Amino acid sequence: FQTWLSNRKTDPDLLANCEVLTVENVTHIACGAGLLGSGGGGSPELGRLIAQQFIQAGKPIHRISLEQLPDNALVLALGVMGS
């Protein structure tokens, strides 16, 4: 799955104005996800580790707003938690 996702082509114009996440950003996002999902469902740690591996391998993770997404965009949930 990671190889397929990594090989997908992305429109460079779409990503031009997007924030590239850092390991620190991902750590903060995982912490927030843990707090927001405090009703149960598990730890956000696995998602944080996967994202960290991508970043450390030189594969950027971009934060994009819903308004920037094209209507035909492929969107994947890489982590799921909650009750």
Taking only the tens place, the pLDDT of each residue in 7-62 is: 556 677 777 888 899 999 999 988 888 877 766 667 788 888 989 999 999 988 88
**What pLDDT does residue 1 have?**
43
The pLDDT of residue 27 is 93
Query: Which residues have CB under 8 Å from 19's CB, separation 6+?
Result: 25, 62, 63
Q: Is the pLDDT of residue 69 over 90?
A: no
pLDDT at 66: 83
82 versus 35: the higher-pLDDT residue is: 35
CA–CA separation, 63 and 18 (whole Å)? 6
E-assigned strands of 1-83?
Answer: 19-20, 62-63
